Chains A and B, each alone.
Chain A
Amino acid sequence: MKIDNALQVRVWRGGKNGYWSEYAVEARDNQTVLDVVTEIQRKFEPSLAYRFACRVGVCGSCAMTVNGQPRWTCRTHVRRVIHDELLTIEPLRNLPRIKDLVCDLEPFIQTWQRAGAIFQGQTTRNDRPQKVNPESSSRKLADSALQCINCAVCYSACDVVYWNRRYIGPAALNRVWTLLNDERHTAQQETFNKAFSRDGCGSCHSHGNCTRYCPVELSPANSIAGLKKLAFISVKNGK
């Protein structure tokens, strides 16, 4: 099929030892990278594996590497990332490749456990929800780190994770920062100790790739800087 005004799209097929496949996809005025992937699957390659769910930048499942950079593909317009009329799409970096554009997120999800980024409250379901004063200094500190969509873009963008896969990485450390500024979280010291264990937040080089690529404009780099400052004054119990 000959298409006028076509985009050249190079897509990764297979797992670790895969190959590139090229497709010509019709260029449209309003077209996201996820639209392009869907079009390829529907028109040319029914067996193409990729992840998506909400298509509106909420669920964080469609992240891929587009022209070498990690992106949420549902909110990335082709015209903003296309280079020399070519679009290359491959799975996220730093995670094992399963098939085509799908990578195994397990190592990424495990970083939450390792970082101690798990909320522990002191109330039960029979108690009333605890109130958090939105004007308190700790709540304000947590503000800029909330609402992560767990897309793994920062984990994929992080060069330290690339060098050392055992490094906890920016997403989980960002979550730790919100917990340490959450007055309801009871395991403050435990969370801090885990986040500052070997291959923890002390390994960060402050490159800032996490912040640069975060699609929802959080700043894991700032959160990690906050954790590093806490290392000096040590963590306050029951903060």
Chain B
Amino acid sequence: MNEQTLFVVQRISAAILIPFVLVHLGLILVAVEGGLSANEILSRTHGNFIWLLFYGLFVVAAAIHAPIGIRNILREWTKLDWRMINGLAMVLCAILLILGMSAVIAVF
């Protein structure tokens, strides 16, 4: 993927993340109103396709957005070459996808 595509993909994923983060933060505020428990969370997410889709997309957008940003930060702040930087960014992408998706699936 060339720089132009990465640039565009990162901006689009950022635009997707904005409403997701806002809904997520709002949900946290509402969810903790009457105390937070595993039962309460599971009762909301269990078998609920809307939340599965919401957090599934959230994870994908974050897993795309963050590694491209980390790539730029590594380029600015370290002396690593592009091969190393791209490798680390791919590892971060994989970690975010695996951890995020397994959490989303676990509460479904």
**Residue A231 contacts which of B4, B75, B76 (CB distance < 8 angstroms)?**
B4
Binary A-proximity of B49-76 (CB < 8 A = 1, otherwise 0): 0000000000000000000000010011
**Residue A196 contacts which of B7, B11, B77, B82 (CB distance < 8 angstroms)?**
B7
Residues of chain A within 8 A (CB-CB) of B2 are 196
Binary A-proximity of B9-33 (CB < 8 A = 1, otherwise 0): 0010000000000000000000000
Q: Is the CB of A200 within 8 A of B76?
A: no
A198 closest partner in B (C-beta): B3
**Residue B75 contacts which of A193, A197, A199 (CB distance < 8 angstroms)?**
A199
**Residue B3 contacts which of A160, A202, A232 (CB distance < 8 angstroms)?**
A202
- CA gap between A200 and B7 in the complex, in Å: 11
CB distance from A164 to the nearest CB of B (A): 5
Q: Is the CB of A196 within 8 A of B4?
A: yes
B6 at the interface (CB under 8 A from A): yes
Number of A-B contacts (CB under 8 A): 30
Q: Is the CB of A163 within 8 A of B77?
A: yes
Q: Is the CB of A197 within 8 A of B76?
A: no
- CA gap between A198 and B76 in the complex, in Å: 12
List 16 additional contacts besides A163-B76, A203-B72, A232-B11; criterion CB under 8 Å: A163-B77, A164-B75, A193-B4, A196-B2, A196-B3, A196-B4, A196-B7, A197-B3, A198-B3, A199-B75, A200-B3, A202-B3, A202-B4, A203-B76, A231-B8, A232-B8
Question: Can you list 19 contacts pairing A with B, beta carbon distance less than 8 Å?
Answer: A160-B76, A163-B76, A163-B77, A164-B75, A196-B3, A196-B4, A198-B3, A198-B82, A199-B75, A200-B3, A202-B3, A202-B4, A202-B6, A202-B7, A202-B72, A203-B72, A231-B8, A232-B11, A234-B4
